[in-house]
Structure 1
């Protein structure tokens, strides 16, 4: 894939894709929680750290799988975005996992890591800077969904 015909994704598109993916993630968490119910007696106590770690891991599997397979989650595909590593290809699983974990920090600090896109010349968020990734905006109909 040539990145010459793409440009860095802006904040609006990133947030649009994040909203789509957030809805998908909620549904995924619902079914992941449902799968636990037979083992918990039908209830999970509030603040259960094992449960919260489980949900973070389920989310990680979702994002790392899609990012490392083709550089796009379903939300990113809808908003014509693609995640790439330094070589312009979808990141490998380790780099995608780095991005996923550090994205929690970017969002968790009041979204400051995400808002960094407005400051950075190449429109990178903190987790993109730390993990060597970029989110590119794809032209309409110009590039296929897969590299």
Structure 2
């Protein structure tokens, strides 16, 4: 069951690419902090020896997804999105599902891998949608000032 957000459709606008990037930078710092904590824990569990390899990379990948999925599905906003008054929602204004979060996360990685082309796509898209917006059937909206 989708839970709608309280704002009316007419109150919400599409955010600029720069505002989206600002929220991504903010969230990037938080993700790096999560990685550092995981790295410290891994070194501690490995008796003080350095840890690397596919297991650690997989754990970091899953922790990153867990961070975004939790905030997107549960609150509709990561901490960076809260700071920049952005929210993720379905096209009809409801909370997104875990499936949509996974599709969005994986497509955003593809967007980065293509030198940001999936992000810059919004500059040419009629509805200002990035690749990950389109594939996950979600949208980022700019919340009104309170």
Output the TM-score relative to the length of structure 1. Answer: 0.89
1:21 is aligned to 2:27:
yes
Q: Secondary structure at the match of 2:94?
A: coil
Partner residue, 1:36: 42
Gaps of 5+ in 2: 1-5
State whether residues 8 and 135 of structure 1, in contact with CA within 8 Å, keep that contact through their aligned partners in structure 2. yes
- Within the candidate set 91, 105, 112, 1:107 is matched to 112
Runs of 4+ with deviation above 2 angstroms: 38-42
- Mapped to 2, the partners of 1:39 and 1:105 lie a distance apart of 33
1:67 is aligned to 2:72:
yes
State whether residues 9 and 135 of structure 1, in contact with CA within 8 Å, keep that contact through their aligned partners in structure 2. yes
Gaps of 5+ in 1: 142-147
- Mapped to 1, the partners of 2:99 and 2:43 lie a distance apart of 31
Output the TM-score relative to the length of structure 2. Answer: 0.90
State whether residues 67 and 73 of structure 1, in contact with CA within 8 Å, keep that contact through their aligned partners in structure 2. yes
Partner residue, 1:126: 131
